[in-house]
Amino acid sequence: MAGILVAKIALNAATYAIDKPYDYTVPEEVADTLRPGMRVVVPFSAGNRHTEGIVLTLEADRPPEPKRKRILTVLDEEPVLDAKALRLALWMRERWFCTVYDAARAMLPAGLYFSLQDRWVLKEGVDQETALAATGKSEQGRQLVELLFAWGGQADVRQLKEAFGTKDPNPALKLLRDKGVLTLETSASRGVGDKVEQVAALAIPPEEAMAQFTGRRRSAPLQYAVVELLCSLGSASAKELCYFTGASSATLRSLAKRGVLTLEQREVFRRVALPEGVEAAGEPQLNEEQQRAYEGLDQLVRSGQPSAALLYGVTGSGKTQVYLKLIRRVLERGGSALVLVPEIALTPQLLRLFSAHFGDQIGVLHSSLRAGERYDEWKRIRTGEARVVIGTRSAVFAPLTRLQLIILDEEQEPTYQSENVPKYHAREVAKYRCVQEKGLLLLSSATPSVESMYRAKQGLYHLFTLRRRYNERPLPPVEIVDMKQELRSGNGTDLSGALKKRLTEMMERGEQSILFLNRRGASRMVSCGECGEVPTCPRCSVYLTYHSANGRLMCHYCGHSEPLPDACPSCGGALNFIGTGTQKVEEELKQAFPQREVLRMDTDTVSATQTHEKLLARFEREKIPILIGTQMVAKGLDFENVTLVGVISADLSLYAEDYRAGERTFSLLTQVVGRAGRGTKGGAALIQTFTPEHDVIRCAARQDYDAFYAQEIELRRLRGCPPFQDLFVLTASARSEAGALRACMRMRQALESWLRQPPLEQLTLRILGPAPASVVKVNDRYRYRLTLACSNTKQIRALVAELLRCAQADKENRGVSVFADVNPLD
DNA sequence: AGCACGCCGACT
DNA sequence: GTCGGCGTGCTC
């Protein structure tokens, strides 16, 4: 007899402060089938609310503990995470201050997710009178019974809470459960992934709908706006409808209730269709330099020892050829390989190339796959059918077996760092996996992150360099234009005289140009010409930005939107746009070159209908003279006819309060300048800046990474930034500003007192703050933070973890939540 | 976080 | 007496 088993389980309901493996009794019926890595439903906390968990280990119940709670349901037929993956989840908790369950969730495809729904159900054969009798005199009990009978004998927990408003339905529910009138049931339905969209379609003929609503234009303006828009479109995504009309989902629901429209879930994204009929490619041909790199790297893979290398290759040096050959060898030896890219949408050529070399053996994983397809790809990978995985950040968790090689292409890209909990960095996860699997981690870039280059120079990573451009084409001449000078000579626009002159020449020759605006989001603010007031978000401490697509002012933090007012709300003055956006530059270009067409590519013009691929195809086909865009135009574009590349404002990203600002700017400018003159016609680049003497800009203009690195690494050393020290940012958020600030101050005090005595008095640690977060208020919560700069060791991580637990337990911190980030992006 | 328990004042 | 407010402490 095996005896009773006890499972140690990581729970979804546990917050960071109380996260640990919880023990549950394994029911005998499932003792044979349950294994670590399976998900289960268990009762948790005093209310025994049902929560999901993942089994970490199973062991004999010694000594027996009869009153322990039992597992309610087993959700999986086989483990979704293997032993290595579970260890990775535990490591992630330690490294990024998340719960084990948070980590596990990040590792699994969203399509695999269950959404648990708790429902209270009347027991069979109970009639209303007996139920009422069981409630005694309780008013809530009566209300509850009436509701349940009205709703057909069952109600889900959220429905009940809503119906009860401020009152608590729980006591009455517990009473009725104990009297045997009700039971709590949990249904686990496959969660629809977040890439599902609600689509609204008109349910009645447009004429009829308009007839119904014309009279209601005044009384129900939002409903009217929705109906009007739907009449012209027929159907549209709910999100878009709300975006364009300012309606909320409640408006749509009430229209659905009236029978005017139907709402249904539809998956919006398609799988990246692998190019069909691609000819199978043969062994890649390498030049001498590539061959040397390949041989060195292949030897590292074959060593069967964990290793890491940096492949530093200038743009156009053919890093991809090296990847392909390495992966071929890995496959021949029966291993598997993982290739991470910053953004899948920007790499169609790479996908084509990989499918030419590896055909059906490739698997693609990224966030815009449909939930089902993502799940299918995940299964194909797990079964070993797909042995080469190409994907974005989260693909770093791909369940490959016999993993011998992980490649991070453009390893310096910030997209490798997750913005949501857990805020892991794919590079670090990849490093961990390579150690686990005894494989090679290959970081690759034309402009490596300062951290990675430093480690390479320290000898922690093997360094391979590709300096030759494959066609040996010289770098384009780069001109730096001083915009201060322009301003002094009376030109207040974003287009310098030099740029206009170049554009004119270029167009006369029938060639094309790409203009790059170094600014995230390309947003515009509005200010009053009279009183200078700028509209702000009512819930967050940020200015609202104007979106031309829907004519509304929107908050980028909480999504609040309002129509653009006709005049300044406080003084009635005229409103003007401020700041530089792609739209403004587009208008200026149209003014300067009235007969020429300008194509704009930014988040506004790239939408569901206009993918950036389509836009780019149009740019190439129709030879539109000027393409203006943000980040998107910086990557991997290769057009024969583009002979001029211009950077409108090189310095905008330099002023970010982030130690990575220099690196980001350098990398972006280098990529953009590298775009010029890819074809046989040669070309030129032009950089407009207000700080022409800035070293980062001068280095980028010369494409001189080595000089940039030498400069930047000293700066980092001086400032105590990565790679020398990591920044642990503790953020306190609360409804009251004083509360958030106080929590930070108390953390600082606690920390200082710990640092005065053993064993921590030797620790070198700088404490910065408390300081307000870059956006102090988000969604009506104030955020303050404390930054610790220190080398990233187990000891300091344990200290941060302890600090978080203390802050959460601190009675003074009522209503305050505290979390920690490592080297956060903002 | 979320939930129950327990203590206190207000109202039938 | 009961209902509902909020402070306190725990979650296998």
Lowest mean pLDDT among A21-25, A471-475, A492-496, A768-772: A471-475
Mean pLDDT over A112-124 rounds to 75
Q: How far is the CA of A178 from the C1' of B3 (A)?
A: 18
Q: How far is the CA of A250 from the C1' of B10 (A)?
A: 38
Residue A193 pLDDT greater than 50, yes or no = no
DSSP line for A109-124 = -GGG-EEEEEEEEEPT
Mean pLDDT over A43-58 rounds to 93
Residue A291 pLDDT greater than 90, yes or no = yes
Lowest mean pLDDT among A9-23, A232-246, A501-515, A758-772: A232-246
**Cβ burial, residue A218 (10 Å; 0-12/13-18/19+):** exposed
Mean pLDDT over A686-690 rounds to 90
Contact A352, A279 (CB under 8 A): no
Q: How far is the CA of A170 from the C1' of B9 (A)?
A: 23
State pLDDT tens for residues A453-478.
999 999 999 999 999 876 667 778 89
Q: How far is the CA of A167 from the C1' of C4 (A)?
A: 9
Question: What is the token pair recorded at A78?
Answer: 């086989």
Quick one: CA torsion of A747, A752, A754, A755, rounded to 10 degrees? Answer: 140
The confidence band for A228, taking pLDDT boundaries of 50, 70 and 90, is confident
Amino acid at residue number A26: V
Task: For chain A, give the percent of residues with pLDDT over 70.
Answer: 90
> Which nucleotide is the nearest neighbour of A818, by CA and C1'?
B1
DSSP line for A124-173 = TT--HHHHHHHTTT-HHHHHHHHHHHHTTSEEEHHHHHHHHTTS--HHHH
Taking the C-alpha atoms of residue A257 and residue A260, their distance in angstroms, rounded to an integer, is 8
CA dist A536 → A489, A544, A659, A825, A826 (Å): 34, 5, 28, 23, 20
Q: Check whether residue A170 has its CB closer than 7 Å to nucleic acid strand B.
A: yes
State pLDDT tens for residues A83-104.
999 999 999 999 999 999 999 9
Inter-residue long-range contacts of A212-221, CB under 8 Å, 24+ positions, other chains counted: A212/A260
Beta strand ranges found along A750-803 (DSSP E): 766-778, 781-790
Question: What is the token pair recorded at A135?
Answer: 């409630």
Contact A705, A770 (CB under 8 A): no
Spell out the residues 6+ positions from residue A592 whose beta carbon is closer than 8 angstroms to its own: A495, A500, A503
Residue A722 pLDDT greater than 70, yes or no = yes
Spell out the residues 6+ positions from residue A166 whose beta carbon is closer than 8 angstroms to its own: none
The confidence band for A497, taking pLDDT boundaries of 50, 70 and 90, is very high
Residue A271 pLDDT greater than 60, yes or no = no
Q: How far is the CA of A519 from the C1' of B2 (A)?
A: 42
Nearest residue for B4, CA–C1'? A46
> Which nucleotide is the nearest neighbour of A15, by CA and C1'?
B1
Taking the C-alpha atoms of residue A419 and residue A409, their distance in angstroms, rounded to an integer, is 19
Residue A688 pLDDT greater than 60, yes or no = yes
Taking the C-alpha atoms of residue A762 and residue A475, their distance in angstroms, rounded to an integer, is 51
Question: What is the token pair recorded at A668?
Answer: 């972006």
Q: How far is the CA of A808 from the C1' of B9 (A)?
A: 31
| DSSP symbol at A327 | H
CA dist A822 → A93, A430, A754, A796 (Å): 12, 17, 21, 12
Taking the C-alpha atoms of residue A557 and residue A380, their distance in angstroms, rounded to an integer, is 37
Contact A184, A120 (CB under 8 A): yes
> Which nucleotide is the nearest neighbour of A6, by CA and C1'?
C12
Of A536, A544, A421, give the one whose Cα is nearest residue A817: A421
> Which nucleotide is the nearest neighbour of A44, by CA and C1'?
C11
The residue behind tokens 């979704």 is A80
Q: How far is the CA of A506 from the C1' of B2 (A)?
A: 66
Contact A443, A461 (CB under 8 A): yes
> CB < 7 Å to strand B — which of 173-192 in chain A?
174
> Which nucleotide is the nearest neighbour of A819, by CA and C1'?
B1
The confidence band for A134, taking pLDDT boundaries of 50, 70 and 90, is confident
Of A585, A581, A620, A615, give the one whose Cα is nearest residue A601: A615
Beta strand ranges found along A648-722 (DSSP E): 684-689
| DSSP symbol at A347 | -
Lowest mean pLDDT among A21-25, A259-263, A370-374: A370-374
Mean pLDDT over A708-726 rounds to 95
Of residues A275 and A3, the one with the higher pLDDT is A3
Spell out the residues 6+ positions from residue A793 whose beta carbon is closer than 8 angstroms to its own: none
Spell out the residues 6+ positions from residue A174 whose beta carbon is closer than 8 angstroms to its own: none
State which of A172-186, A270-284, A605-619, A767-781 shows the largest mean pLDDT: A767-781
Q: How far is the CA of A158 from the C1' of C5 (A)?
A: 23
Residue A601 pLDDT greater than 50, yes or no = yes
Q: How far is the CA of A15 from the C1' of B1 (A)?
A: 7
Question: What is the token pair recorded at A449?
Answer: 């992150």
**Cβ burial, residue A214 (10 Å; 0-12/13-18/19+):** exposed
The pLDDT value given to residue A519 = 61
Task: Measure the N-to-C terminal CA separation of chain A; round to a whole number of Å.
Answer: 57
Taking the C-alpha atoms of residue A480 and residue A649, their distance in angstroms, rounded to an integer, is 11
Residue A135 pLDDT greater than 70, yes or no = yes
Lowest mean pLDDT among A25-34, A230-239, A719-728, A783-792: A230-239
Q: Check whether residue A779 has its CB closer than 7 Å to nucleic acid strand B.
A: no
Find the angle CA(A596)-CA(A602)-CA(A607) to the nearest 5 degrees: 110
Enumerate residues near strand C (beta carbon within 7 A). Answer: A 17-18, 20, 22-24, 43-46, 48, 68-69, 137-140, 166-167, 811
Of A465, A463, A341, give the one whose Cα is nearest residue A392: A341
Q: How far is the CA of A802 from the C1' of C9 (A)?
A: 19
The confidence band for A211, taking pLDDT boundaries of 50, 70 and 90, is confident
> Which helix (H) or strand (E) element contains residue A56?
strand A49-60
The residue behind tokens 């490093």 is A431
Q: How far is the CA of A814 from the C1' of C7 (A)?
A: 11
Mean pLDDT over A584-594 rounds to 86
Q: How far is the CA of A48 from the C1' of B7 (A)?
A: 24
> Which nucleotide is the nearest neighbour of A815, by CA and C1'?
B1
Taking the C-alpha atoms of residue A58 and residue A227, their distance in angstroms, rounded to an integer, is 57
Contact A575, A529 (CB under 8 A): yes
The pLDDT value given to residue A209 = 82
Q: Check whether residue A805 has its CB closer than 7 Å to nucleic acid strand B.
A: no
Query: Which nucleotides of chain B have an atom under 7 angstroms from any protein CB?
Result: 1-5
Lowest mean pLDDT among A229-238, A600-609, A631-640, A685-694: A600-609
> Which nucleotide is the nearest neighbour of A65, by CA and C1'?
C12
Mean pLDDT over A271-282 rounds to 66
Across chain A, mean pLDDT equals 85
Give chain A's domains with CATH numbers.
Answer: 5-113 (3.40.1440.60), 117-190 (1.10.10), 196-267 (no CATH), 288-471 (3.40.50.300), 478-521+582-717 (3.40.50.300), 523-579 (no CATH), 726-822 (3.30.70.600)
Contact A448, A457 (CB under 8 A): no
Q: How far is the CA of A21 from the C1' of C4 (A)?
A: 36
Task: Map residue A581 onto helix, strand or coil.
Answer: coil
Residue A1 pLDDT greater than 90, yes or no = no
> Which helix (H) or strand (E) element contains residue A715?
helix A705-719
State pLDDT tens for residues A337-381.
999 999 876 667 788 889 999 998 999 998 767 777 888 889 899
CA dist A733 → A537, A544, A658, A779 (Å): 18, 22, 21, 11
> Which helix (H) or strand (E) element contains residue A626?
strand A626-629
The residue behind tokens 């890819």 is A678
Lowest mean pLDDT among A489-503, A668-682, A694-708, A772-786: A668-682
Q: Check whether residue A15 has its CB closer than 7 Å to nucleic acid strand B.
A: yes
> Which nucleotide is the nearest neighbour of A13, by CA and C1'?
B1
The pLDDT value given to residue A608 = 46
Mean pLDDT over A298-325 rounds to 94
Residue A531 pLDDT greater than 50, yes or no = yes
Residues pairing with A365 in the sheet? A391
The pLDDT value given to residue A773 = 87
Residues pairing with A726 in the sheet? A790
Q: Check whether residue A45 has its CB closer than 7 Å to nucleic acid strand B.
A: yes
Residue A529 pLDDT greater than 50, yes or no = yes
The pLDDT value given to residue A275 = 62
The pLDDT value given to residue A91 = 98
pTM over 0.95? The answer is: no
Mean pLDDT over A287-313 rounds to 97
**Helix A157-164, helix A139-150: angle, nearest 10:** 130
The sheet that has A22-25: what strands, in order across it? A22-25, A5-11, A49-60, A39-44, A73-74
Residue A318 pLDDT greater than 80, yes or no = yes
Task: Map residue A475 onto helix, strand or coil.
Answer: coil
The residue behind tokens 């069979």 is A124
Task: Map residue A614 onto helix, strand or coil.
Answer: helix
Nearest residue for C2, CA–C1'? A138
| DSSP symbol at A1 | -
Residue A440 pLDDT greater than 90, yes or no = yes
Taking the C-alpha atoms of residue A479 and residue A498, their distance in angstroms, rounded to an integer, is 9
Mean pLDDT over A535-550 rounds to 78
> Which helix (H) or strand (E) element contains residue A398?
none
Contact A338, A405 (CB under 8 A): yes
Of A759, A820, A768, give the one whose Cα is nearest residue A795: A759
> Which nucleotide is the nearest neighbour of A141, by CA and C1'?
C3
Of A766, A769, A768, A779, give the one whose Cα is nearest residue A733: A779
Q: How far is the CA of A826 from the C1' of B11 (A)?
A: 54
Nearest residue for B1, CA–C1'? A15
Residue A28 pLDDT greater than 60, yes or no = yes
Nearest residue for B5, CA–C1'? A46
Residues pairing with A58 in the sheet? A7
Of residues A619 and A330, the one with the higher pLDDT is A330
Mean pLDDT over A127-140 rounds to 76
Q: How far is the CA of A138 from the C1' of C2 (A)?
A: 10
Query: Which nucleotides of chain C have an atom under 7 angstroms from any protein CB?
Result: 3-5, 8-12
The pLDDT value given to residue A610 = 58
The residue behind tokens 């030879």 is A623
**Cβ burial, residue A61 (10 Å; 0-12/13-18/19+):** middle
Q: How far is the CA of A173 from the C1' of B4 (A)?
A: 14
Q: How far is the CA of A422 from the C1' of B4 (A)?
A: 31
